[in-house]
Amino acid sequence: MSQKRIGYARVSTSEQNLDLQIDALTSAGCKQIRTDTASGGSRSRPGLQDALDLLQEGDTLVVWRLDRLGRSLGHLVDLVAGLERRGVNLRSISDSIDTTSAGGRLIFHIMGSLAEFERNLISERTRAGLTAAQRRGIAVGRRRALTPAQVAHAGLLIDGGESASNVARTLGVGRSTLYRAIEQTGTRLQPMKQRIASKESR
């Protein structure tokens, strides 16, 4: 089993210096260190992603402080829970957290519980919001690609002999989307034979 120590350091702006963190990570035994210059809330962190990609089961991700790792509490909780699932340890030098120890592993379990708690809260809020919207008569779900008027007009064009593909292209949707909309609105199309006869009689 791999037992590498991968270091990760981050500063918020280009004016700040990474030396303090890099020195601490090197002293902690990190042979590979990845860095980012990004604000705390930034989603773009290629250095962090690279560090996560390097980690294998049994490895340890080392940071100077936990606030260098997550862009928010929720993000930090998800990251830590993800490390646990992969069998990767975490060490935060300044916070005295080391999940290779019994006490440190407790952090993983707490973070995992917090992650589940947050997901349950989000799910509960979403369900409550949908229920409240339905009670107010607000339509819930994806918006229809076509309005009823467009569907009715499309049906007339197709009955008049226009191909469904051309009609769908004109409306900016796929043919399957058009047929699905026609079915949902209950619009009835003439049988193919009637369409051909209607076209030939012109």
Contact between 6 and 63 (Cβ < 8 Å): no
Say which of 12, 14, 27, 163 is annotated catalytic: 12
- Mean pLDDT: which of 5-19, 46-60, 61-75, 97-111 is highest? 46-60
Of 77, 142, 153, give the one whose Cα is nearest residue 115. Answer: 77
What mean pLDDT is predicted for residues 77-83?
Answer: 84
pLDDT band of residue 32 (cuts 50, 70, 90) is: very high
Tell me 74's DSSP state.
H
Residue 84 has pLDDT above 80, yes or no: yes
Residue 196 has pLDDT above 50, yes or no: no
Contacts 24+ apart (CB under 8 A), 50-54: 51/6, 51/7, 51/8, 54/4, 54/6
Alpha carbons 61 and 121: distance in angstroms, whole number: 29
What mean pLDDT is predicted for residues 117-140?
Answer: 72
The HSE-up count of residue 150 (CA atoms within 13 Å, CB side) is 17
What mean pLDDT is predicted for residues 23-48?
Answer: 88
Q: Where are the domains of the chain?
A: 5-117, 148-200
Mark whether 201 is an active-site residue: no
Tokens representing residue 112 in the block: 């995992």
Distance between first and last Cα of the chain: 79
pLDDT band of residue 166 (cuts 50, 70, 90) is: confident
* pTM of model > 0.85: no
- 5-117 belongs to which homologous superfamily? Resolvase, N-terminal catalytic domain (3.40.50.1390)
Residue 47 has pLDDT above 70, yes or no: yes
Of residues 4 and 159, more confidence is placed in: 4
Helix (H, G, I), strand (E, B), or coil: what is residue 86? Answer: coil
